[in-house]
């Protein structure tokens, strides 16, 4: 067996991070993650994907050629600070190539530029702004992989990275779209607004229709007059519950993007953020944060549970 290619550190091992780790391992990359303070289930999940476990960010910085940050939006800045502080301890050898830090989180371009400023005092690190469009990588029965689109931007292209950069980009389905920081995050925000924005509309539409007793009629009319919209709405409702808590901050990042970069007010996607916060915190759907607990859920179930949550809220305010 040939030796592994570059060493890739991943922070952290959620559904997406785990999928990317498995994809990298299948392509002969050595994958590391810091499990300090993480649960036993997280450790076991990482080990199941052939990920090597370390107990400090300094170990990742010392050993990795690339670090992929895949965390909730609220943790993007603190995670970047952790690794710049780890690098400040001069844990890398002088003869090592620069360490690429690739932020793949759902953040606004302005926040990505904030992250860029953190790395200016780290000469041994290179920062790339990025985003993930699509679901986690999965291996198919025939051995092929379905992959999301990874888009990155910044002055340093992965294609020119000295240690397996071009090979890594191909393995990850990664495309460099701009030489400046911000466009990759912006593209992610614009894409997510159309998909998760539609789902938020569907949540309100299906819930209201259910309360009116016309949900079946709504679905029939969607099937007859706008079948693609109906299919997308139904799929979005069923897939949304285990992810709603993560989307609260992502919608705020979209609001910031559209305000700062596009010139729009924040009201629309601040409102969408509140829809997902309500799902996560004030309905029984908020307990469904794993794929397994979502099995069998239908659009009608989601609309019904949303209605129950709204009734409880109404009773509290009366």
Predicted model pTM: 0.93
With respect to residue 139, please indicate whether it lies within any of the assigned structural domains.
yes
What lies within 8 Å, CB to CB, of 294 at 6+ separation is 238, 239, 241, 242, 288
Decide if 212 is inside a domain: yes
Tell me whether residue 228 is in a domain: yes
Q: Which long-range contacts (CB under 8 A, 24 or more apart) does 54-60 make?
A: 56/86, 57/82, 57/83, 57/85, 57/86, 58/86, 58/89, 58/91, 59/32, 59/34, 60/9, 60/11, 60/32, 60/33, 60/34, 60/86
208, 176: one domain: no
The last residue of one of the domains, among 160, 180, 200, is 180
Domain annotation covers residue 229: yes
Residue 2 forms part of a structural domain? no
223 and 80 housed in the same domain? no
Q: How confident is the model at residue 50 (pLDDT cuts 50, 70, 90)?
A: confident
- Among the candidates 129, 151, 180, a domain finishes at 180
Q: Are residues 48 and 80 in the same domain?
A: yes
Q: What is the mean pLDDT of residues 82-88?
A: 93
- Would you give the DSSP letter of residue 243? G
Which residue segment(s) compose the domain that 119 sits in?
A: 7-180
Residue 1 domain flag? no
Determine what percent of the chain is predicted with pLDDT higher than 70: 96
pLDDT above 90: residue 46: no
How would residue 36 be classed by pLDDT, with cut points 50, 70 and 90? confident
Least confident interval from 14-28, 272-286, 292-306: 292-306
Q: What is the CATH number of the domain that holds 210?
A: 1.10.1040.10
Same domain, 61 and 153: yes
Q: Which of 163, 180, 197 is the last residue of a domain?
A: 180
Q: Domain count of the chain?
A: 2
Q: Is 164 left (phi over 0), alpha (psi -120 to 50) or beta?
A: left
In a domain, 282, yes or no: yes
Tell me the average pLDDT across 218-223.
Answer: 98
Taking alpha carbons only, the member of 260, 259, 113, 257 closest to residue 191 is: 257
94 lies in the same domain as 160: yes
CA distance 175 to 178: 9
Quote the pLDDT of residue 1. 57
Contact yes or no for 256/266 (Cβ under 8 A) = yes
Q: What is the pLDDT of residue 292?
A: 47
Cα 141 to Cα 19, 28, 138, 145, distances in angstroms: 16, 20, 10, 9
The pLDDT value given to residue 157 = 93
The CATH code of the domain that includes 42 is: 3.40.50.720
Mean pLDDT calculated for residue range 290-310: 79
Q: Are residues 254 and 296 in the same domain?
A: yes
| Residues 206 and 165 occupy one common structural domain | no
Residues 173 and 223 grouped into a single domain? no
CA dist 252 → 106, 108, 233, 249 (Å): 10, 9, 21, 5
pLDDT at 289: 57
pLDDT of residue 288: 62
Within this chain, do residues 206 and 94 fall inside the same structural domain, yes or no? no
Q: Is residue 200 part of a domain?
A: yes
Considering the domain architecture, whether residues 207 and 136 belong to the same structural domain is answered as no
pLDDT in tens, 117-130: 999 988 899 999 99
Range scoring the smallest mean pLDDT among 15-24, 27-36, 274-283, 295-304:
295-304
Q: Are 22 and 161 members of one domain?
A: yes
């Amino acid at each position: 067996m040939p030796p592994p290619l570059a060493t890739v550190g991943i922070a952290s091992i959620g559904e997406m991070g785990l999928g990317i780790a498995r994809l990298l391992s299948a392509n002969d990359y050595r994958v590391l993650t810091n499990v300090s303070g993480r649960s036993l289930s997280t450790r076991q999940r990482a080990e199941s994907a052939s990920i090597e476990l370390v107990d400090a960010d300094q170990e990742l910085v010392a050993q990795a050629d690339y670090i992929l940050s895949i965390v909730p939006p609220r943790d993007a800045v603190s995670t970047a600070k952790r690794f710049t502080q780890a690098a400040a301890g001069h844990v890398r050898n002088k003869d090592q190539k620069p360490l690429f830090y690739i932020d793949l989180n759902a953040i606004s371009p302005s926040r990505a530029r904030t992250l860029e400023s953190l790395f200016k005092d780290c000469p041994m690190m290179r920062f790339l702004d990025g985003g993930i469009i699509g679901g986690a990588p999965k291996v198919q029965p025939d051995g092929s992989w379905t992959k999301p689109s990874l888009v990155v931007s910044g002055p340093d292209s992965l294609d020119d990275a000295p240690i397996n950069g071009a090979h890594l980009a191909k393995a990850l389905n990664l495309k460099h779209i701009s030489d400046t920081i911000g466009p990759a995050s912006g593209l992610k925000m614009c894409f997510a607004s159309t998909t998760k924005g539609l789902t938020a509309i569907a949540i309100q539409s299906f819930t209201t229709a259910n309360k009116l007793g016309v949900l079946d009629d709504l679905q029939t009319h969607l099937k007859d007059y706008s079948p693609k919209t109906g299919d997308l709405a139904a799929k979005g409702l069923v897939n949304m519950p285990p992810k709603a808590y993560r989307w609260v901050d992502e919608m705020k990042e979209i609001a910031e993007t559209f305000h700062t970069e596009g010139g729009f007010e924040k009201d629309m996607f601040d409102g969408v953020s509140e829809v997902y916060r309500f799902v996560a915190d004030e309905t029984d759907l908020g307990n469904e944060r794993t794929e397994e607990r979502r099995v069998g859920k239908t659009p009608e179930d989601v609309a019904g549970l949303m209605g129950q949550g709204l009734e409880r809220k109404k009773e509290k305010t009366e």
